[in-house]
Amino acid sequence: MTRRLVAEGVTLVRDVNLSFGHGEFVAITGPSGSGKSSLLYLLGLLDRPTEGQVLLEGQDTVGLAPPAMAALRLRHLGFVFQFHFLLPEFTALENVLIPIRKLGALEGEAARHSALALLDGLGLAPAAAKLPEQLSGGMRQRVAIARALANNPVLVLADEPTGNLDTKNAAAVFDIFERMTRAEGRTVLVVTHDPDLAARATRRVHLVDGAVVSDRQV
Amino acid sequence: MNLILDLARGMLRRRRRQTLVSVLGVALGVAFFIAIAGMMRGFQTYFVAQIIDVAPHITIKDETREPPVQAAMLASPEGAVSVRGVRPQDSIRGIRAAGEKLATLEAMPGVAAAPVLGGQALLRYGSRDVSATLLGLDPERHRRVSNIEKDMFAGRLEDLRATANGIIIGEALAQRLGVGMGDTISAISPAGVVLSMRVAGLFRTGIQNVDQGQGFVLLTVQQVLQNRPNTVNQILVRLADVTQAEPMARRIEARFGNRTESWEEQNRNILTVFVIQNAIMYSVTGAILLVAAFGIYNIISTVVFEKTRDIAILKSLGFAEGDIQRLFLVQGLVVGVLGAVLGCALGAAMIEGLAQVRFGVDTPAGQDRFVLSRDWRIYLIASGFAVASSAVAALVPARRASRLDPVQVVRGAA
C-alpha cells in the first residue's frame, strides 16, 4: 500500500508502504506531528489519500463513495480513541448496541445477548445498565473497546487509547489488545507515544515527518 | 430507522426544557391558527348562509351591462362626424317581455323566479315623512325566491292580497313613523301618485338598512303607485343549487341581454373583505409558526453543536451522511409533530372557550355569540404547516451535521 496526503501544502504522510497481516499487534510510534494519527485515519477509511491506494482484504477503497466507506467501517473496522466518545444519554449496553443495530445482522434478544457477552468478556457485566457518567475512566474506555468490537471487526484502530488512563488501566487495555490479536486473530493498530506500552506490541512502526523510518517485527 | 428514532429521543431528552419551549411555540402557532380560522370561517360561512337565505340568488335587472347604442351610431358606425349631446330616446323602463322570460326561467329545472317592481316612495304618517324603497311583489311567487316571511313577526305575505292597499314594513321603519299593525299611512311616489295604505305586516331581518327603509306591497299596487302599468324592473331567481348562481347568471344574461347579477356579484365587496381577512389570518399565524420554526432551528443547531463528538463517533462507527442528516431531521419532526398534536388539543379547547362567550347584545347578524367552524380541514392545514416548517427548520442544521468531518473533531478533542 502506498499513500500520501497533501493538506494545505503540508504532507502529513509521505510514501508510506505498509501491509498488515491477520493477528498482528502493531504499535505506531513517533514524535508529535509525525503523522501517526493521520496514517491511522487513512487506514481507518475516515480519510482518503491524495495518491495511492488503501486496500482492505484485497479491495481498493479509494474510489468508493462515502456511504460505501461507511458500510466498510461498520462491518470490518473498530475504532478506539483517546477520549471514549460514548453517547452520554445511553447506557453502556445501549452504546455497544448502536453499531450492532446499525448493521442489523442481529436483532432483538440476539443483539442484546451479543453486546452483553462482549461487556462480560471485558469484565463490564455489572456496568451494562449504567450511564457513562456513572463509570470510571478505565471502565468507559473498556466500554468503548467493547463498542469497537461490536460487529466482530477484522481490524481495530486505536488512537492513543490509554492517553487518559493511569498505568494500571492502560495495562489492562493492552491486555485486551493482546488477547484480541492472539486469541481472536484480529489485527490491532495502536498509535501511542508510551514506549513501555509500545514494547508490548509484536510489530513497531516508527514515523518521523510522515515517513516510516523503522518497521520492526518482535 | 428505529435506531435513529432512539438516538433522536435520547438527544432531545437531554435538552428537555428547550425542547418543551420549542414544542410550545409550535403548539401556540397551531392553536391560534385553529382558533382564528375557526372564528373567521365560522363567521364567513354563517354570513354567506344569511345572504343566500335572505337575498335572491340571481337578480335580473331592467338595464344592460353596456349603455345602449344610440341610433346615430347604429346608422353610421364609421361616421366622420361625431354628434355629441344626443339625448337618448325616451324608452319605457322595465324588463321587456317579462312574462315570457319568467316562463322560460320557470321551465328550467331547479329554478324559481318572481317578478318585482322596485321604486322609491315617501311614507307619511301625521307629520312624519320617511322615504323608503317599496318592492311590488307577487306573494305566491315571491315566497319561492325569498325567505322574508321567516323574518315577519306580524302578518303574512298573503295578507297583502286580503288587505286593500296593504303594506308590509320593517320594524325600525314602523317605529320611525310611529305606526303599528292596521294603521293607515300615505305613500307618495316620484310619479306624484298618492295612495293610502294600511300596515298589514311587520318584519325584522336584523339588517339595519332593510329594517329601516324597505316595504313590500302588491305588484299591482306598486305599478299604480309608480304609474308604470304592467311593468316589472327586476326578476328574482332562486336556485336549488346555490353554487351554480354565477354560471347561471352568465347564461341568463347571454340569453336575455338584461344585466344579471348573482349573489356573489352583488356582495362582491363583502366577499373581498373575506379574502383580506383570510390573508391577515394566514400572515398572523404564519408569523407565529415562523417564530416557532426559528425556535426549532435554534434547538437543532444547539444539539448539533453540542453533539459534534457524538456525530463524529457515529460516523466513525459507520453511519453515513444520510443517517446523520436523518437523525437530526427526525428531531425537528418530533418537535413539530408533538407541537401539532398539542396545538390541535389547545386549539380545540380555545374554540370551546370562545363558544362560551356571550356578547350580551344582538349583533347585526342576529347572533349573540361567535359562530365557530370546527372543520377538521383547519386542523389538517395547521398541523401540516407546522410539521412542514419544523422539517425545513431542522434541515439546515441537519445538513451541517451530516457534513461534519470526524477526523477534525477527533483531533480537536484529543
Contact B318/A159, CB-based, under 8 Å? no
What secondary structure letter does DSSP report for A35?
S
The answer to whether the beta carbons of residues B166 and B218 sit under 8 Å apart is yes
- CA–CA dist A115, A94 (Å, integer): 9
Give the contacts of B282 (CB within 8 A, at least 6 positions apart).
Answer: none
Chain B residue closest to A41 (CA)? B407
Interface test with B, best of A48, A90, A102 (most B CBs within 10 A): A102
Q: How far from chain centre, in Å, is Cα B405? A: 56
Q: Which helix or strand (DSSP H or E) is residue B313 part of?
A: helix B308-317
> Does any CB of chain A come closer than 8 Å to the CB of residue B322?
yes
**Residues of chain B contacting A102 with CB distance shorter than 8 Å:** 3, 317-319, 323
- CA–CA dist A16, A53 (Å, integer): 10
pLDDT in tens, B75-87: 777 777 776 776 6
Q: Which of these, A153, A181, A188, A158, lies nearest to A76 by C-alpha position?
A: A153
**Measured between CB atoms, which of B3, B10, B322 is closest to A102?**
B3
- CA–CA dist A150, A78 (Å, integer): 8
Q: How many residues does chain B have?
A: 414
Range with lowest mean pLDDT among A61-70, A86-95, A207-216, B82-91: B82-91
The answer to whether the beta carbons of residues A131 and B13 sit under 8 Å apart is no
**What pLDDT score does B414 carry?**
46
Evaluated on CA atoms A104, A110, A114, A116, the torsion sign reads positive
Give the contacts of B26 (CB within 8 A, at least 6 positions apart).
Answer: B289, B292, B295, B296, B335, B336, B338, B339, B340, B342, B343, B386, B390
Q: Which three cell numbers, joined as nine digits, stand for A112?
A: 442484546
Interface confidence (ipTM) of the complex: 0.87
> Does any CB of chain A come closer than 8 Å to the CB of residue B408?
no
Q: Which three cell numbers, joined as nine digits, stand for B232?
A: 316589472
Task: Give one DSSP letter per residue of B128-139, joined into a string.
Answer: EEEEEEEEEE-H
**What pLDDT score does B110 carry?**
85
Contact B320/A90, CB-based, under 8 Å? no
**What pLDDT score does B90 carry?**
64
pLDDT in tens, A171-212: 888 888 888 888 888 889 999 888 888 888 889 999 888 888
Contact B407/A47, CB-based, under 8 Å? yes
Could you tell me which CATH number the domain at A2-217 has? 3.40.50.300
- CA–CA dist B61, B231 (Å, integer): 12
**What pLDDT score does A5 carry?**
53
Q: Rg of chain A's alpha carbons, rounded to an integer?
A: 17
Contact A44/B316, CB-based, under 8 Å? yes
Q: Which helix or strand (DSSP H or E) is residue B203 part of?
A: strand B194-203
Residue-wise burial string across B55-91, b where 16 or more C-beta atoms lie within 10 A, e elsewhere = bbbbbbbbeeeeeeeeeeeeeeeeeeeeeeeeeeeee
Chain A residue closest to B313 (CA)? A85
**Residues of chain A contacting B5 with CB distance shorter than 8 Å:** none
> Does any CB of chain A come closer than 8 Å to the CB of residue B142?
no
Tens digit of pLDDT at every position of chain B (414 positions): 588 888 888 888 877 888 888 888 889 888 988 888 888 888 888 888 877 777 788 898 888 877 766 666 677 777 777 767 766 666 667 888 888 888 888 888 888 999 999 999 999 998 899 999 999 999 988 988 888 888 888 888 888 888 889 999 999 999 999 999 999 999 999 989 999 999 999 998 877 888 899 999 999 999 999 998 888 999 999 988 888 888 888 988 888 888 899 888 888 888 888 889 888 888 887 887 788 788 788 878 888 888 888 888 898 888 888 899 999 899 889 889 999 999 999 999 999 998 888 877 665 555 677 888 888 888 998 899 889 988 888 899 899 888 888 888 877 754
The answer to whether the beta carbons of residues A48 and A62 sit under 8 Å apart is yes
> Does any CB of chain A come closer than 8 Å to the CB of residue B14?
yes
**Measured between CB atoms, which of A41, A70, A85 is closest to B319?**
A70
The answer to whether the beta carbons of residues B183 and B167 sit under 8 Å apart is no
**What pLDDT score does A137 carry?**
85
pLDDT in tens, A26-41: 999 988 878 888 888 8
Higher-confidence position of A139 and A2: A139
Contact A83/B310, CB-based, under 8 Å? no
Give the contacts of A74 (CB within 8 A, at least 6 positions apart).
Answer: A99, A102, A103, A151, B317, B318, B319
pLDDT surpassing 80 at residue A140: yes
Chain A residue closest to B10 (CA)? A89
The C-alpha of A83 sits at a distance from chain B's nearest C-alpha, in angstroms, of 7
pTM for the model stands at 0.70
The C-alpha of B321 sits at a distance from chain A's nearest C-alpha, in angstroms, of 7
Q: How far from chain centre, in Å, is Cα B27? A: 27
Interface of B with A in 278-317 (CB under 8 A): 309-310, 312-317
**What pLDDT score does B173 carry?**
93
Q: What are phi and psi of A189, to 5 degrees?
A: -110, 120
**What pLDDT score does B116 carry?**
92
Task: Give one DSSP letter per residue of A125-183, joined into a string.
Answer: GGGTTS-GGGS-HHHHHHHHHHHHTTT--SEEEEESTTTTS-HHHHHHHHHHHHHHHHT
Q: Which of these, A146, A144, A160, A49, lies nearest to B313 by C-alpha position?
A: A144
> Does any CB of chain A come closer than 8 Å to the CB of residue B411?
yes
